Protein backbone atom coordinates (compact mmCIF):
# COMPACT_ATOMS: atom_id res chain seq x y z
CA UNK A 1 0.00 0.00 0.00
CA UNK A 2 2.79 2.43 0.86
CA UNK A 3 4.61 1.61 -2.37
CA UNK A 4 1.48 2.32 -4.40
CA UNK A 5 0.87 5.55 -2.47
CA UNK A 6 4.42 6.66 -3.28
CA UNK A 7 3.92 5.83 -6.96
CA UNK A 8 0.83 8.09 -7.00
CA UNK A 9 2.74 11.11 -5.70
CA UNK A 10 4.44 13.75 -7.81
CA UNK A 11 8.24 13.43 -7.52
CA UNK A 12 8.52 17.12 -6.60
CA UNK A 13 6.31 16.50 -3.54
CA UNK A 14 9.07 14.20 -2.27
CA UNK A 15 11.85 16.66 -3.23
CA UNK A 16 12.99 14.44 -6.07
CA UNK A 17 14.48 16.33 -9.06
CA UNK A 18 12.45 14.24 -11.52
CA UNK A 19 9.36 14.74 -13.67
CA UNK A 20 8.55 11.01 -13.71
CA UNK A 21 9.72 8.12 -11.58
CA UNK A 22 10.61 4.67 -12.88
CA UNK A 23 10.27 1.33 -11.10
CA UNK A 24 13.94 1.56 -10.14
CA UNK A 25 13.42 5.09 -8.75
CA UNK A 26 10.49 3.85 -6.64
CA UNK A 27 12.54 0.89 -5.39
CA UNK A 28 15.36 3.20 -4.24
CA UNK A 29 12.91 5.59 -2.59
CA UNK A 30 11.04 2.93 -0.60
CA UNK A 31 14.34 1.43 0.57
CA UNK A 32 15.74 4.86 1.54
CA UNK A 33 12.56 5.60 3.50
CA UNK A 34 12.71 2.28 5.36
CA UNK A 35 9.46 0.94 3.95
CA UNK A 36 11.23 -2.30 2.98
CA UNK A 37 14.75 -3.58 3.53
CA UNK A 38 15.18 -4.54 -0.12
CA UNK A 39 13.03 -4.78 -3.24
CA UNK A 40 13.59 -5.01 -6.98
CA UNK A 41 12.19 -2.84 -9.75
CA UNK A 42 10.60 -5.97 -11.22
CA UNK A 43 8.61 -6.52 -8.04
CA UNK A 44 7.50 -2.90 -8.05
CA UNK A 45 6.35 -3.29 -11.66
CA UNK A 46 4.44 -6.48 -10.83
CA UNK A 47 2.57 -4.82 -7.96
CA UNK A 48 1.68 -1.68 -9.90
CA UNK A 49 0.78 -3.48 -13.12
CA UNK A 50 -1.82 -5.55 -11.28
CA UNK A 51 -3.87 -2.47 -10.35
CA UNK A 52 -6.94 -1.61 -12.42
CA UNK A 53 -6.46 2.13 -11.90
CA UNK A 54 -2.98 3.52 -12.48
CA UNK A 55 -2.92 7.20 -11.42
CA UNK A 56 0.87 7.35 -11.78
CA UNK A 57 0.53 7.04 -15.55
CA UNK A 58 -0.38 9.87 -17.88
CA UNK A 59 -0.92 10.56 -21.56
CA UNK A 60 -1.36 13.73 -23.58
CA UNK A 61 -4.79 14.69 -24.80
CA UNK A 62 -6.60 17.50 -26.58
CA UNK A 63 -9.07 19.05 -24.19
CA UNK A 64 -12.27 20.46 -25.77
CA UNK A 65 -12.47 24.08 -24.67
CA UNK A 66 -15.14 25.37 -27.04
CA UNK A 67 -18.44 26.02 -25.19
CA UNK A 68 -20.27 25.02 -28.38
CA UNK A 69 -18.09 21.99 -28.99
CA UNK A 70 -20.91 19.50 -29.56
CA UNK A 71 -22.81 21.71 -32.00
CA UNK A 72 -19.75 22.63 -34.10
CA UNK A 73 -18.29 19.11 -34.07
CA UNK A 74 -21.65 17.64 -35.07
CA UNK A 75 -21.84 19.85 -38.16
CA UNK A 76 -18.41 18.68 -39.32
CA UNK A 77 -19.15 15.03 -38.61
CA UNK A 78 -22.46 15.33 -40.45
CA UNK A 79 -20.66 16.70 -43.51
CA UNK A 80 -18.36 13.67 -43.50
CA UNK A 81 -21.52 11.57 -43.64
CA UNK A 82 -22.93 13.67 -46.50
CA UNK A 83 -25.46 15.58 -44.39
CA UNK A 84 -26.06 19.32 -43.87
CA UNK A 85 -28.88 20.73 -41.73
CA UNK A 86 -30.39 17.24 -41.48
CA UNK A 87 -30.61 16.89 -45.27
CA UNK A 88 -28.45 14.76 -47.51
CA UNK A 89 -25.99 16.57 -49.76
CA UNK A 90 -26.80 16.58 -53.46
CA UNK A 91 -24.64 15.10 -56.22
CA UNK A 92 -23.33 18.60 -57.01
CA UNK A 93 -22.25 19.41 -53.44
CA UNK A 94 -18.64 19.01 -52.30
CA UNK A 95 -16.74 19.05 -49.01
CA UNK A 96 -13.20 20.44 -48.81
CA UNK A 97 -11.06 20.04 -45.71
CA UNK A 98 -8.33 22.70 -45.62
CA UNK A 99 -5.50 23.93 -43.43
CA UNK A 100 -1.83 24.88 -43.51
CA UNK A 101 1.31 23.03 -42.46
CA UNK A 102 3.59 25.78 -41.23
CA UNK A 103 7.35 26.20 -40.83
CA UNK A 104 8.52 23.31 -42.99
CA UNK A 105 12.28 23.67 -42.74
CA UNK A 106 14.92 22.89 -45.32
CA UNK A 107 17.63 21.17 -43.30
CA UNK A 108 20.88 20.79 -45.18
CA UNK A 109 22.77 18.01 -43.40
CA UNK A 110 26.41 18.72 -42.59
CA UNK A 111 27.73 15.21 -43.18
CA UNK A 112 27.23 12.25 -45.42
CA UNK A 113 24.69 9.53 -44.81
CA UNK A 114 25.54 5.89 -44.32
CA UNK A 115 23.44 3.34 -46.24
CA UNK A 116 21.72 0.46 -44.49
CA UNK A 117 23.76 -2.65 -43.81
CA UNK A 118 22.96 -6.14 -42.48
CA UNK A 119 21.56 -5.66 -38.99
CA UNK A 120 21.80 -1.86 -39.19
CA UNK A 121 19.44 0.80 -40.50
CA UNK A 122 20.35 3.80 -42.61
CA UNK A 123 22.11 6.55 -40.62
CA UNK A 124 21.39 10.23 -41.22
CA UNK A 125 23.76 12.99 -40.10
CA UNK A 126 22.31 14.73 -37.04
CA UNK A 127 23.75 18.24 -37.53
CA UNK A 128 22.37 20.50 -40.24
CA UNK A 129 22.26 24.05 -41.52
CA UNK A 130 18.90 25.78 -41.76
CA UNK A 131 18.09 26.85 -45.30
CA UNK A 132 14.80 28.61 -44.52
CA UNK A 133 11.20 27.53 -44.02
CA UNK A 134 8.07 27.38 -46.11
CA UNK A 135 4.35 26.86 -45.44
CA UNK A 136 2.24 24.33 -47.30
CA UNK A 137 -1.47 25.16 -47.61
CA UNK A 138 -3.69 22.36 -48.86
CA UNK A 139 -7.29 21.36 -49.41
CA UNK A 140 -8.63 17.79 -49.42
CA UNK A 141 -11.83 16.82 -51.22
CA UNK A 142 -13.34 14.48 -48.64
CA UNK A 143 -15.58 12.57 -51.06
CA UNK A 144 -13.49 12.62 -54.24
CA UNK A 145 -10.06 12.06 -52.59
CA UNK A 146 -8.46 14.94 -54.46
CA UNK A 147 -5.77 17.16 -52.99
CA UNK A 148 -4.89 20.74 -53.91
CA UNK A 149 -2.04 22.73 -52.45
CA UNK A 150 0.31 25.68 -52.70
CA UNK A 151 3.63 26.58 -51.11
CA UNK A 152 3.92 30.05 -49.63
CA UNK A 153 6.43 31.99 -47.55
CA UNK A 154 3.80 32.81 -44.94
CA UNK A 155 0.23 31.95 -44.07
CA UNK A 156 -2.60 34.45 -43.81
CA UNK A 157 -5.79 35.59 -45.50
CA UNK A 158 -4.10 36.29 -48.84
CA UNK A 159 -2.47 32.87 -48.95
CA UNK A 160 -5.72 31.18 -48.00
CA UNK A 161 -7.48 33.16 -50.73
CA UNK A 162 -4.96 31.79 -53.24
CA UNK A 163 -5.78 28.23 -52.16
CA UNK A 164 -9.52 28.86 -52.39
CA UNK A 165 -9.06 30.35 -55.86
CA UNK A 166 -7.05 27.32 -56.94
CA UNK A 167 -9.94 25.02 -56.09
CA UNK A 168 -12.97 27.16 -56.85
CA UNK A 169 -11.84 28.32 -60.29
CA UNK A 170 -11.83 24.79 -61.68
CA UNK A 171 -14.55 22.26 -62.28
CA UNK A 172 -16.56 20.73 -60.73
CA UNK A 173 -16.30 23.29 -57.91
CA UNK A 174 -16.79 26.37 -60.08
CA UNK A 175 -20.30 25.27 -61.09
CA UNK A 176 -21.13 23.30 -57.93
CA UNK A 177 -24.28 24.04 -55.98
CA UNK A 178 -22.35 24.23 -52.72
CA UNK A 179 -18.73 23.73 -51.68
CA UNK A 180 -18.25 23.39 -47.92
CA UNK A 181 -14.81 24.45 -46.65
CA UNK A 182 -13.94 22.86 -43.28
CA UNK A 183 -11.15 24.70 -41.45
CA UNK A 184 -9.92 25.25 -37.93
CA UNK A 185 -9.75 28.65 -36.24
CA UNK A 186 -6.28 29.64 -37.39
CA UNK A 187 -5.51 33.24 -38.26
CA UNK A 188 -5.92 32.57 -42.00
CA UNK A 189 -9.60 31.65 -41.60
CA UNK A 190 -10.84 32.67 -38.18
CA UNK A 191 -14.29 33.62 -36.95
CA UNK A 192 -17.36 35.17 -38.51
CA UNK A 193 -15.24 37.49 -40.67
CA UNK A 194 -13.79 34.51 -42.55
CA UNK A 195 -17.30 33.15 -43.19
CA UNK A 196 -18.32 36.49 -44.67
CA UNK A 197 -15.14 36.71 -46.76
CA UNK A 198 -15.68 33.25 -48.19
CA UNK A 199 -19.23 34.17 -49.22
CA UNK A 200 -17.89 37.29 -50.92
CA UNK A 201 -15.18 35.38 -52.75
CA UNK A 202 -17.54 32.71 -54.07
CA UNK A 203 -21.30 32.62 -53.66
CA UNK A 204 -21.43 28.82 -53.67
CA UNK A 205 -18.69 28.42 -51.02
CA UNK A 206 -19.57 27.92 -47.33
CA UNK A 207 -16.96 28.19 -44.55
CA UNK A 208 -17.47 25.70 -41.69
CA UNK A 209 -15.27 25.86 -38.58
CA UNK A 210 -14.25 23.00 -36.35
CA UNK A 211 -14.54 23.71 -32.61
CA UNK A 212 -11.66 25.57 -30.98
CA UNK A 213 -8.75 23.25 -30.16
CA UNK A 214 -10.17 20.41 -32.23
CA UNK A 215 -8.05 20.24 -35.37
CA UNK A 216 -8.23 16.45 -35.15
CA UNK A 217 -11.73 16.78 -36.64
CA UNK A 218 -10.20 18.12 -39.85
CA UNK A 219 -9.38 15.37 -42.35
CA UNK A 220 -6.62 17.42 -43.99
CA UNK A 221 -4.54 16.66 -40.89
CA UNK A 222 -4.49 13.01 -41.96
CA UNK A 223 -3.05 14.02 -45.31
CA UNK A 224 -0.47 16.21 -43.56
CA UNK A 225 0.58 13.22 -41.46
CA UNK A 226 1.14 11.27 -44.70
CA UNK A 227 3.23 14.17 -46.03
CA UNK A 228 5.28 14.23 -42.83
CA UNK A 229 6.05 10.51 -42.99
CA UNK A 230 6.59 10.11 -46.72
CA UNK A 231 8.06 13.45 -47.79
CA UNK A 232 9.59 15.33 -44.86
CA UNK A 233 11.17 12.55 -42.78
CA UNK A 234 14.08 12.46 -42.62
CA UNK A 235 14.39 16.12 -43.48
CA UNK A 236 17.35 16.55 -45.81
CA UNK A 237 16.90 19.37 -48.34
CA UNK A 238 19.63 21.72 -49.61
CA UNK A 239 17.22 24.64 -50.12
CA UNK A 240 13.58 25.72 -50.08
CA UNK A 241 13.17 25.22 -53.81
CA UNK A 242 13.86 21.52 -53.32
CA UNK A 243 11.32 21.34 -50.49
CA UNK A 244 8.63 23.01 -52.59
CA UNK A 245 9.34 20.82 -55.61
CA UNK A 246 9.17 17.66 -53.50
CA UNK A 247 5.85 18.72 -51.96
CA UNK A 248 4.31 19.50 -55.34
CA UNK A 249 5.65 16.28 -56.89
CA UNK A 250 4.24 14.23 -54.02
CA UNK A 251 0.90 16.00 -54.36
CA UNK A 252 0.75 14.97 -58.01
CA UNK A 253 1.79 11.43 -57.12
CA UNK A 254 -0.74 11.14 -54.30
CA UNK A 255 -3.62 12.21 -56.54
CA UNK A 256 -3.05 9.06 -58.59
CA UNK A 257 -3.32 6.67 -55.64
CA UNK A 258 -5.52 8.51 -53.13
CA UNK A 259 -8.72 7.07 -51.74
CA UNK A 260 -11.21 8.70 -49.36
CA UNK A 261 -10.10 8.32 -45.75
CA UNK A 262 -12.11 5.75 -43.80
CA UNK A 263 -13.46 8.17 -41.22
CA UNK A 264 -15.39 6.12 -38.66
CA UNK A 265 -16.13 8.65 -35.91
CA UNK A 266 -19.72 9.82 -36.38
CA UNK A 267 -22.03 12.28 -34.64
CA UNK A 268 -23.65 9.35 -32.84
CA UNK A 269 -20.25 8.28 -31.49
CA UNK A 270 -19.68 11.83 -30.26
CA UNK A 271 -23.03 11.98 -28.49
CA UNK A 272 -22.47 8.54 -26.93
CA UNK A 273 -19.16 9.70 -25.45
CA UNK A 274 -20.63 12.96 -24.18
CA UNK A 275 -23.50 11.03 -22.63
CA UNK A 276 -21.14 8.71 -20.75
CA UNK A 277 -18.92 11.43 -19.36
CA UNK A 278 -21.32 14.37 -19.00
CA UNK A 279 -20.73 14.48 -15.24
CA UNK A 280 -16.94 14.23 -15.47
CA UNK A 281 -14.52 17.14 -15.23
CA UNK A 282 -12.50 16.07 -18.27
CA UNK A 283 -13.35 14.50 -21.59
CA UNK A 284 -10.95 12.68 -23.90
CA UNK A 285 -11.59 12.45 -27.58
CA UNK A 286 -9.69 10.21 -29.97
CA UNK A 287 -9.26 10.58 -33.68
CA UNK A 288 -10.92 7.46 -35.05
CA UNK A 289 -10.12 7.62 -38.71
Residue 33 sits in the same domain as residue 111: no
281 within some domain: no
Contacts of 123 (CB under 8 A, 6+ apart): 113, 114
pTM over 0.75: yes
Task: Please identify every stretch of the chain with a pLDDT value under 70, giving residue numbers as ranges.
Answer: 277-289
Number of domains forming the structure of the chain: 2
> Rounded to whole angstroms, what are the CA distances from 71 to 78, 81, 87, 123, 276?
11, 15, 16, 48, 17
91 and 43 together in one domain:
no
Identify the pLDDT of residue 277: 61
120 and 216 assigned to the same domain = yes
pLDDT digit string, tens, across residues 183-233: 999 999 999 999 999 999 999 999 999 999 888 899 999 999 999 999 999
Are 109 and 227 contained in the same domain?
A: yes
Coil/strand/helix, residue 30: helix
Judge if the upstream peptide bond of residue 210 is cis by omega within 30 degrees of 0.
no
Same domain, 81 and 203: yes
pLDDT at 278: 61
Same domain, 117 and 41: no
Return the pLDDT at 52.
84
Q: In what order do the strands lie in the sheet with 93-109?
A: 146-152, 128-141, 93-109, 178-183, 205-209
Task: Check residue 281 and give its pLDDT.
Answer: 44
Nearest-Å Rg of the Cα atoms of the chain is 25
**What's the chain's length in residues?**
289
Task: Assess if residue 109 is contained within a domain.
Answer: yes
CATH of the domain at 164: 3.30.420.10
Q: What is the model's pLDDT at position 288?
A: 42
Tell me the per-residue pLDDT of 100-112, one tens digit each, with 9 for 90 and over.
Answer: 999 999 998 888 8
Q: Are residues 36 and 147 in the same domain?
A: no
In a domain, 265, yes or no: yes
* Whether 159 contacts 188, CB under 8 Å: yes
**How far is it, in rounded angstroms, from Cα 111 to Cα 124?**
8
User: Residues 130, 18: one domain?
Assistant: no
Q: Which domain holds residue 9?
A: 2-49
Residue 221 forms part of a structural domain: yes
The reply to whether 171 falls in a domain is yes
Residue 284 falls within a domain, yes or no? no
In a domain, 58, yes or no: no
What distance in Å separates the CA atoms of residue 27 and residue 35, rounded to the nearest whole number? 10
Amino acid sequence: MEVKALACQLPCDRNLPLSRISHADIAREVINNGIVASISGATIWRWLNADAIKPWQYRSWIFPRDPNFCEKASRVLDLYQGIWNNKHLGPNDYVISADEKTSIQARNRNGRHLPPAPGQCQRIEFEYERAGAVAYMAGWDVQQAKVFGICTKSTGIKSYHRLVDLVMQQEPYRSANRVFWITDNGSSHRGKASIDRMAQWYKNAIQVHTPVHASWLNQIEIYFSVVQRKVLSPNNFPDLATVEQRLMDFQTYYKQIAKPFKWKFTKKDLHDILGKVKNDSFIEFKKAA
